[in-house]
Amino acid sequence: MSLNTDRSYKMKLRDVENAFKYRRIPYPKRSVELIALLAISCTFFLFMHTNKLNSRLKEMEVKLQPSEFSALGLTGNHISGHDAGKHDDINTLHGTYQYLKSTGQLQRLSADRLNNTKNAEVEVLFFNRAAKVGSEAMLELFIALVDYNDDLELERSGLREPTVRQMTKRAQREAAELVAGLDEGTFYIRHINWLDFSEFDLPLPIYINMVRDPVERVISWFYYARSSYKNAIEYRKSPNKKIKPESWYKKNFNECVRSGDPECQYVPHTVKDFIPNFKRQSLFYCGHHDDCLPFNSPTAVQMAKEHVERDYAVVGSWEDTNITLTVLERYIPRFFRGAKLMYEMHTNKITNRNKNKRKPYIEPEVKEMIRRNFTHEYEFYHFCKQRLYKQYLALNLHELQKHGLLN
């Protein structure tokens, strides 16, 4: 075979190999369309599945908010900051459950016995809101509930009343008569201490209120007092009122406590404050007796606890949002039916109403310094939280045990 013939043969052989190596197999037109349709279908299926999964996750976020699980002791984010590592801290829902179980009280829990709503003699809701516990958020919830339920109304006159701490007997009677005389199905909200309706032979309303960590309350008040929102309101009421110096508005809480500034010294048993600061959370529950005035007083706290136990249908907390809304819905159904739904629909309005925008960092050491002076105030606060947990457990004990959330 000649050289040219051999080269020609090899070239033909290479062409044949390349033809097989890079061959393209023609597909029918309908097959191509089928493959494209399958690809689109798979993409659509994945999109729908992902969208559905995302929706389920959002539902779970609403149903299982951190507030409820922190109370269960499942996240380590406990109610009492200085006891954050204790999963059986009695000041959590889980700790309250364990305590009741260990003392044999668990099986005796009764939603009926824990429900003071049945003791009310008139269906008027009396919210004598404590300062800086999220009462403005509760007001926003009231507004949503009134819009949702045709048989409810909101009496706004209390919103225009000045904050009154200690009232004369005459003033107490006038306030009690106003509340007792409201139409049934009315929400009444006002910054006012507990009133004894029985003393004036008036029908009992449905008492509710809220509590908040005592130290967080006074820090919140410190910056709220310096907010443009509050000062604009005060200026409209009293345009001739002397404006405080710029240094007062820029005051730092950490330095205020450490420097011994009288404004940030929470001295036990004092009666008069250097500057009003609403540090006595228990005062709103104790009432107008002189024994209620001393700060961090065991006597005042005991009186406040007795009033809560006897008179209040619910004392909730925004620190435990789901627990509070569940208890309100079940223990006071006329006023709070649909409360969870309304909260979900109006979350932004409720959580952002009157919210402090200025929240500087507060040193843990500073919080611990002043916490030592709030021992009895913390006793009252934890008493209210434990009572709330007992009410919740009485409603949901079987379900919680069934799902293993309390083991």
**Quick check: helix, strand or coil at residue 191?**
coil
How many angstroms separate the Cα of 17 from the Cα of each of 1, 8, 125, 202?
22, 14, 92, 106
What is d(CA 176, CA 198) in angstroms, rounded to the nearest whole number? 10
State the DSSP string of 159-179.
HHSPPBSS--HHHHHHHHHHH
What whole-number distance in Å separates Cα of residue 212 and Cα of residue 285? 13
Q: Where are the alpha helices (DSSP H) in 209-252?
A: 214-224, 228-237, 246-249
Of the residues 94, 191, 307, 376, only one is catalytic, namely 191
Amino acid letter, 10 = K
| 191 is known as an active-site residue | yes
Please name every residue paired with 312 in a beta bridge, in sequence order, or none if there are none. Answer: 207
Q: Are 323 and 68 in contact (CB under 8 A)?
A: yes
- Token pair of 221, please? 């008040």
Q: Which residues are catalytic?
A: 191
